[in-house]
Structure 1
Amino acid sequence: MEFHGVIFIILFSLVLVLESDGFPMNDLINKLPGQPDVNFRQFAGYIDVDENVDGRSLFYYFVEAEKDPMTQPLTVWLTGGPGCSSVGDGFASVGPFIVTKDVHGLQKNLFSWNKVSNLLFIDSPIGSGWSYSNTSSDYDNGDDATNTILLTFMQKWYEKYPVFKSKTLYLAGSSYAGHFVPNLANALLDDNKQSKQSKFNLKGLALGNPMLRNKLDDLAKFDLFFFREMINNSLYNQIKKECNVIDEDNYFFNLKVVWSATCKNLMEQAILVAFKTDANNYFPLKLFDIFRDPCAENEQDLNLGKQVVELITEVDMCSPLRAQCYFNLPEVQRAFHGNRTKLSYRWKGCFTANFKYNKADMDLDMLPALKKLLQQSIPITIFSGDQDGIIPAVGTLDHLKKLAEELNIKLTKEETWSFRNQDGGSKYVFGDLLTFLTVKGGNHHVTASRPSQALDIFTNFVINWMH
């Protein structure tokens, strides 16, 4: 009996060691289907964000850094939409794997951000990816509710992963994450002021093609078309004249302004001229990348194992679609511990049928949120692809110049930045804390279209900003 008692104590001690390294082993992913061997761990599962366990729950995917994870920072990645899955986006952008052409396997992402950081992907808001609520009204999302739930998620995630409580934290994301990330950053800092317990050790933000002032971004499309000689001087000047109802100084007060019928007609005409097409043949996804064609493949063909198109450019425009196919494989969902609610519809990378978002919130001014962060000495790095027609870099630069003016921060550097001894794009540095970079050849999804440059920016301008 004594011998058996010793064995029991040893086994019990081993279990304690497994659980006491600060990781929930129930959420450990043994291996994803078709995944190459790697030397880092992956975890995925749900964080229940209210008292009712079956109420609201956000799905997450956590990846350790490739080397020495306990000495590396933690980076939270939130994608936009609003309504896109950050977890799914990770498999077409900054995560450790990219879905293979046959959509049943994975290959290593040579430019994953887990080379320099631990990564946490969160499906947010409710209704994105595998995040859900049993209350139907929770699918009517908005900025405030999303932020409240994300703050609770972060508090509870740290309880589940206590080893990360004191670690350096970065928040990053793309597109509508221009709302999510600054709002969450301010919520974490406010929580630090109120909490007597552990603090969120927030050290910086990284935003790709962020939506900051949506109505002005709409107008900036036509600045981009004009500068790229896609529309002529006459049409451009007509738009500037007829659509001149919003300006940088009065953005907040002009939120409810609607474009006149003449303005709308001119905008529609300019888009058709820019893409040399007519209304019947115009494809809105062209704005995602003004020079590359959208993905020509479809999910049905991919599921049948067909590879419809050879990769013509150096950018794989179909990687998000392939990720969508991969996430619908039953064995993938089991490996992820996902789809707890057994969805009655196919998993989608963006915009499931029951997802809604407050349109008024989409037009909100995010400069005050960025201003508050800069005033608390939080560094912000923003990067934008110069081929993005959804949120053009020219508009983002105008927003940041306005922000710097309000804070009385001077533009201290304006130069090209170098990537592998070549011109990577333009760099604008405002004071000590705000940096904006354009990325040559990057589209609305810089982390997918220019992944090596995105990793370089994250490493050298975000993590190593002080050096």
Structure 2
Amino acid sequence: MEFRGVIFILFLFLLLGVDSNDFPMKDLISKLPGQPDVNFRQFAGYIEVDENVDGRSLFYYFVEAEKDTLTQPLTIWLTGGPGCSSVGDAFGSVGPFIVTKDAHGLQTNSFSWNKVSNLLFIDSPIGSGWSYSNSSSDYNNGDGSTIFKSKDLYIAGSSFAGHFAPNLAIALLDDNKQFEKSKFNLKGLVLGNPMLRKKLDEIAKVDFFFSREMINSSLYNKIKKECNAIDENNYFSSIKTTWSAKCKNLVFEADLAAFKTDAHNYSPQKLFDVFRPPCTENELNLNLAKQVPIVGTEVDMCVPLRVQFYFNIPEVQKTFHGNRTNLSYRWQGCFTANFKYNEADKDLDMLPALKNLLQQSVPVTIFSGDQDGIIPTEGTLQHLEKLAEELNIKLTKEETWSLRTKEGGLKYEFGDLLKFLTVKGGNHHVTSSRPFQAFSIFSTFAINWMH
């Protein structure tokens, strides 16, 4: 597998001391529109990739840690999709600012991860966010397209970053073996609701429905009988398994039953948070009303929409040094047009990659929202139990966890290097739906794990 991300090495060599003074000053952001005053700096711009060949350019956003920039670690954040913008995700999850309710400004993120780390967001692969190429072939991507040097380095991300992040980590470790100087000091991998075994997660969704009494036992047993082509032990050999038409129909029947709806009114978006209604706002409302829209639950389900609106404000794009190619289409948090992903890569088994990292003593922390129907906690726990079995690692601790007055969830520790934490009330985007818990997991269970 070709890791074109090795191209980042020259650029990130400047981050060896995470010294922002090494960044090109043309990339310095003085102040984003509607941004509150802060005491740290931020940079955004393009990383040129094979500029003389086919004009590939990747968009990045770098944020200094709030304090002690030079001594704090660097965390690279990758967003899943595939085809979603990591930079855009920064403004709805782990970055220093959250888009305001009217979508025309920014407010401070109380749970930004830059309180304990420098942050680097990269729109990757080509075709996501403002990253672009003059070669159409670069819009056909696979797991090998998203791949960086620093002192203490963490790699983190959510959803399909369950593919991107482990592959990047392995690429950096392989680079360490080839070059004696300037080694990447990889301190850990942190994944939120990661896709590790897609085929099995599709069936875990049915287990999720049944465990929460969203479907009856009759339908559940029919699905388990009909959709039994693969399991944890033979996943790799059955990766090309095609579900039968009967299996597909039964699973869709479960979707409709779980949400008490019909085919006309069903939306897969409901799976991102099975108990909260999806966002009903639209960009036209934000543009015309300009007042604070009503938020129906304690979680603002319209955050991605607000980010998308904010990133399409011309002054925002100008201040960000983004959209230098004057895209013919609007910025989107997740692209479907002009972006094709290798479908076979979506089904790849990521346990071997995690196994590789654990065997090289890289700590892995995984957290998962218990309201996520896309990649349910039930499936992820099964995957990690299988991984531990292959490594002959025992489940050393199983307990509830909480911080301050905030309820956390369940915590599973496999040996000294692998942790899995469920997050009560968290959906597919824990960093957005349960930001305090996500920050606590990163700062307490990941960064401070080895200290």
Report the TM-score, using the length of structure 1 for normalisation: 0.91
- Secondary structure of 1:259's counterpart equals coil
- The equivalent of 1:80 in structure 2 is 80
- The equivalent of 2:105 in structure 1 is 105
Q: Partners in 1 of 2:65 and 2:73 — Cα distance?
A: 9
Asked if residue 283 in structure 1 is aligned to residue 272 in structure 2, the reply is no
Give 2:310's match in structure 1, choosing from 316, 326, 332: 326
Asked if residue 208 in structure 1 is aligned to residue 192 in structure 2, the reply is yes
Q: Partners in 2 of 1:288 and 1:82 — Cα distance?
A: 15
Q: Partners in 1 of 2:406 and 2:64 — Cα distance?
A: 31
Q: Partners in 2 of 1:283 and 1:256 — Cα distance?
A: 26
CA RMSD of aligned residues (A): 1.3
Q: What is the CA distance between 1:54 and its match in structure 2? A: 5.7
- The equivalent of 2:130 in structure 1 is 130
Q: Which moved more, 1:419-428 or 1:56-65?
A: 419-428
Q: What is the CA distance between 1:305 and its match in structure 2? A: 3.1
Give the unaligned 5+ runs of structure 2.
Answer: 1-18
Give the unaligned 5+ runs of structure 1.
Answer: 1-18, 159-164
- The equivalent of 1:22 in structure 2 is 22
Q: What is the CA distance between 1:285 and its match in structure 2? A: 0.5
Runs of 4+ in 1 over 4 A off after TM superposition: 306-309
User: Any idea what the Cα deviations from partners look like across 1:13-64, whole Å, max 9, x if unmatched?
Assistant: xxxxxx9932321210011001000000000001112252761111000000
Give 1:228's match in structure 2, choosing from 207, 212, 220: 212
- The equivalent of 1:90 in structure 2 is 90
- The equivalent of 1:466 in structure 2 is 450
Q: What is the CA distance between 1:301 and its match in structure 2? A: 1.3
Q: Answer whether contact 2:20 2:64 (CA < 8 A) is retained.
A: no
Q: What is the CA distance between 1:418 and its match in structure 2? A: 1.5
Asked if residue 293 in structure 1 is aligned to residue 277 in structure 2, the reply is yes
Q: Partners in 1 of 2:99 and 2:391 — Cα distance?
A: 44
Q: Answer whether contact 1:74 1:168 (CA < 8 A) is retained.
A: yes
- The equivalent of 1:161 in structure 2 is none
Q: Partners in 1 of 2:269 and 2:136 — Cα distance?
A: 30
Q: Structure 1 or 2: larger helix share?
A: 1
Instruction: Summarize the Cα distance change of 1:293–1:71 in structure 2 as closer, same or farther, 3 Å threshold.
Output: same
Q: Answer whether contact 1:214 1:363 (CA < 8 A) is retained.
A: yes
Instruction: Summarize the Cα distance change of 1:103–1:257 in structure 2 as closer, same or farther, 3 Å threshold.
Output: same
Counterpart residue identity of residue 380, structure 1:
V
Q: Answer whether contact 1:297 1:308 (CA < 8 A) is retained.
A: no
Q: What is the CA distance between 1:420 and its match in structure 2? A: 1.8
Counterpart residue identity of residue 57, structure 2:
S
Asked if residue 241 in structure 1 is aligned to residue 225 in structure 2, the reply is yes
Give 2:170's match in structure 1, choosing from 186, 198, 214: 186
Q: Which moved more, 1:444-453 or 1:331-340?
A: 331-340
- Percent identity between the two aligned chains: 78
- Secondary structure of 1:70's counterpart equals coil
Counterpart residue identity of residue 321, structure 1:
L
- The equivalent of 1:55 in structure 2 is 55
Q: What is the CA distance between 1:299 and its match in structure 2? A: 1.2
Instruction: Summarize the Cα distance change of 1:139–1:390 in structure 2 as closer, same or farther, 3 Å threshold.
Output: same
Instruction: Summarize the Cα distance change of 1:24–1:261 in structure 2 as closer, same or farther, 3 Å threshold.
Output: same
Give 2:379's match in structure 1, choosing from 384, 395, 398: 395
User: Any idea what the Cα deviations from partners look like across 1:64-103, whole Å, max 9, x if unmatched?
Assistant: 0011111100000000000000000000000000111221
Q: Which moved more, 1:195-204 or 1:218-227?
A: 195-204
- The equivalent of 1:379 in structure 2 is 363
Q: Answer whether contact 1:296 1:309 (CA < 8 A) is retained.
A: no
Q: Partners in 1 of 2:52 and 2:123 — Cα distance?
A: 19
- Secondary structure of 2:22's counterpart equals coil
- The equivalent of 2:141 in structure 1 is 141
Q: Partners in 1 of 2:51 and 2:174 — Cα distance?
A: 22
User: Any idea what the Cα deviations from partners look like across 1:258-301, whole Å, max 9, x if unmatched?
Assistant: 11111111101011000000000111110000000011101121
Asked if residue 312 in structure 1 is aligned to residue 296 in structure 2, the reply is yes
- The equivalent of 1:250 in structure 2 is 234
Counterpart residue identity of residue 129, structure 1:
G
Counterpart residue identity of residue 182, structure 2:
S
Q: Answer whether contact 2:65 2:119 (CA < 8 A) is retained.
A: yes
Q: Partners in 2 of 1:24 and 1:314 — Cα distance?
A: 41
Q: Based on CA coordinates, which of the two structures has the bigger radius of gyration?
A: 1
